[in-house]
Structure 1
Amino acid sequence: MATKIIGLKRLNAKLKKLPKAAEMAVKEAMEQGANEIVAMMKSLVAVDSGDLRDSIGWTWGEAPKYSQRIASIKARDGKLALTIFAGNNKVRYAHLVEFSTRAHVNGGKFAGSMHPGTKAQPFFFVSWRALRRRTKSRITRAITKSAKQVAAGGGGGG
């Protein structure tokens, strides 16, 4: 004897909406986290000409050509991948500012002269570490919230 489950059709319809609703919520949470991280990086970076500061950003997918990937946030299913980066074809020294340079004999334009080196002026990993947990929690809350909205009949998906 077959057992009829009351409301199964409605439940299945809600479950179909969940992935889209969750994806939209996660995407929004990832963008908000990336914006916060980038803003902190820009506020902490040492500014001379402003070129390095202006090269800091984020994008969906891979980092732009010539930039240095600082962090990636990826959804478990791999569909959503966000990359935070610094640098471009004009600015290729973000890592030197972040980590420092050693004193060395110059082999470039003023060959033979001594370069005193530079001290580290961290801006990207400190920002990433400071906001990583908050961003991850925001994404988890977004998934939970979208699941609750779908379960309540609010949808959230299209």
Structure 2
Amino acid sequence: MAKSEQYNRIQRKVMSLPKAYLEATVPALEKSAEELADLQRRFAPEDTGALKNSIVVTGPHQATPAYSQPGGSRVAADNEVLVTAGNSDVRYAHLVEYGTAEAEAQSFFWPAYRLLKKRIANRVNRASRKAIKERLARD
């Protein structure tokens, strides 16, 4: 095989990696987001159940609910899955999480994230490494 042919083959493989990476990581991100949302729902205080029900997962190219925390309404990117708490009816998720002058904090959102952070990172890294290895081996 000539050097230029080999170079072109390697270049094609490398240029196709971002697409393979995105395709492989989104399912891992979605699975991790659902796992995180489930744990956050278990940690959330249950007075009326509205706060628990407001914890949702938003997939790529979808908009988060208005008034959701953290960050309010926005559209998720190609390789982004968001977990939010709150909506137009439940505008107090941040007050429960951080507390107020009259009410003590009942953290549910960030403790769940901290518990699963390493597991989520490992899952996504495994999926991306597997996709890259398969893509490079295919050509």
Q: What's the TM-score, normalizing by structure 1?
A: 0.71
Q: Residue 138 of structure 1 aligns with which residue?
A: 123
Q: Give the counterpart letter for 1:118 in structure 2.
A: A
Structure 2 residue ranges without an equivalent (≥5): 72-76
The alignment's C-alpha RMSD in Å is: 2.4
Q: Residue 137 of structure 2 aligns with which residue?
A: 152
Where do 1:75-86 residues align within 5 Å?
79-86=78-85
> Runs in 1 of length 4+ with deviation above 4 angstroms?
6-10
- Residue identity over aligned pairs, in percent, reads 35
Cα displacement (A) at 1:133 = 1.9
SS of the equivalent of 1:39 reads helix
Contact 2:65/2:88 (CA < 8 Å) preserved in 1?
no
Contact 1:67/1:87 (CA < 8 Å) preserved in 2?
yes
Aligned positions, number: 131
Q: Residue 28 of structure 1 aligns with which residue?
A: 27
Q: Give the counterpart letter for 1:66 in structure 2.
A: Y
Separation in 1, partners of 2:83, 2:105 = 20
Cα displacement (A) at 1:80 = 2.1
Where do 1:84-99 residues align within 5 Å?
84-99=83-98
Structure 1 residue ranges without an equivalent (≥5): 71-77, 103-116
Separation in 2, partners of 1:146, 1:80 = 14
Cα displacement (A) at 1:8 = 4.8
Where do 1:92-111 residues align within 5 Å?
92-102=91-101
Contact 1:68/1:94 (CA < 8 Å) preserved in 2?
yes
Separation in 1, partners of 2:65, 2:124 = 24
Q: What's the TM-score, normalizing by structure 2?
A: 0.80
Give CA-to-partner distance per residue, 1:50-88, whole Å, 9 cap, x none.
Answer: 111000012135532111127xxxxxxx74233221111
Separation in 2, partners of 1:18, 1:80 = 14
Separation in 2, partners of 1:56, 1:123 = 11
Q: Higher helix fraction: Structure 1 or Structure 2? A: 2
Contact 1:45/1:123 (CA < 8 Å) preserved in 2?
yes
Cα displacement (A) at 1:45 = 0.4
Separation in 2, partners of 1:81, 1:66 = 19
SS of the equivalent of 1:133 reads helix
Q: Does 1:4 align with 2:5?
A: no
Contact 2:44/2:52 (CA < 8 Å) preserved in 1?
yes
